[in-house]
Amino acid sequence: MSWRSDVAPTLNEGDVRLRPLKASDARAWQEVRRRNQAWLGPWDATVPDEGVRAGEVPPSFHAMTRRLRAEAREGRVLPWATEFRGRLVGQITMGGIAYGSLRSAYIGYWIDQEFAGRGVTSMGVAMATDYAFDVLRLHRMELNIRPENTSSRAVAEKVGYREEGFREKYLHINGDWRDHVTYVLFAGDVPGGVVARLRDAVRHDTHPTTP
Ligand SMILES: CC(C)(COP(=O)(O)OP(=O)(O)OC[C@H]1O[C@@H](n2cnc3c(N)ncnc32)[C@H](O)[C@@H]1OP(=O)(O)O)[C@@H](O)C(=O)NCCC(=O)NCCS
């Protein structure tokens, strides 16, 4: 498999780095995924016609990257590995990138349980969001989250997304169609950007106020 090194930009903020997912990540990625099967399984996206049922093994690195690579080539996806202090700890994917009159995208994410709770994903989502608005010039960003996923809803709220509404049976997760809550943020909602705002909130140990 050959990934172009410019398949996604590299973004840095403190100890957190988003950089393009590469073929050579296969071993580290599989190790993290194996160790975190119970932690990630309930929230993992699945593909109905691949016949994965609830509780089964997550997709292989190669199946996942094959799908992402095809979409990245078309400019519809930015596939990032999340690094914390130089170690691969998770993944952040911007998908559904659309231009024209829509100019929108969504972001999906997960992290190794061992590294949860340090604000890594929240910062990564903030970095991806600023990139979407400042560089791609998108207008609207979405996070779609199962209602019961309190940790992920906390990410949305910390970054400054606001709850928009409920989508019934919206995504195929862990082997079935699941209801989701959609969070949105629009370009210009956070003057100065969400990274700066989150960095400030972390420094003062407060939650930023949702716009
Ligand atoms: C959702 C997820 C990506 C958050 O990543 P993270 O790097 O821990 O994010 P943060 O450190 O900013 O913490 C977000 C929230 O997680 C919760 N949290 C913190 N430590 C936690 C832990 N050890 N275990 C579970 N949840 C924890 C808290 O509610 C926290 O919010 P707070 O900072 O306001 O208290 C991570 O919990 C995860 O990978 N979950 C499984 C996969 C998943 O749900 N993906 C998203 C699908 S929409």
pLDDT digit string, tens, across residues 167-195: 999 999 998 999 999 999 999 999 999 99
- In tens, the pLDDT along 44-71 reads 998 887 665 555 555 688 888 888 988 9
Query: C-alpha 102: how far from its chain's center?
Result: 20
Whether the pLDDT of residue 125 is over 70: the answer is: yes
| Per-residue pLDDT tens over the stretch 58-110 | 568 888 888 898 899 999 999 999 999 999 999 999 999 999 999 999 999 99
Closest residue by Cα to atom 28, ligand 1, is 151
Atom 13, ligand 1: residue with shortest CA distance: 117
End-to-end CA distance of the chain: 42
What domains lie within the chain, and their CATH numbers? Answer: 11-203 (3.40.630.30)
pLDDT of 2? 44
How high is the pLDDT of residue 54? 54
Pocket lining: 125 vs ligand 1, CB cutoff 6 Å:
no
pLDDT 10s digits, 151-163: 999 999 999 999 9
Per-residue pLDDT at 1: 38
Q: What is the pTM of this model?
A: 0.94
CB distance 84 to 63 below 8 Å:
no
Alpha helices in the chain (DSSP H): 26-35, 37-40, 61-73, 120-134, 150-159, 194-203
CA distances from 108 to 95, 118, 202 (A): 8, 18, 22
User: Residue 210: its pLDDT value, please?
Assistant: 47
Output the CA 78–ligand 1 centroid distance in Å.
Answer: 21
Q: Quick check: CB of 109 below 6 Å from ligand 1?
A: yes
Q: For a substitution probing ligand 1, which of 46, 89, 91, 151 has the most ligand atoms within 8 Å of its CB?
A: 151
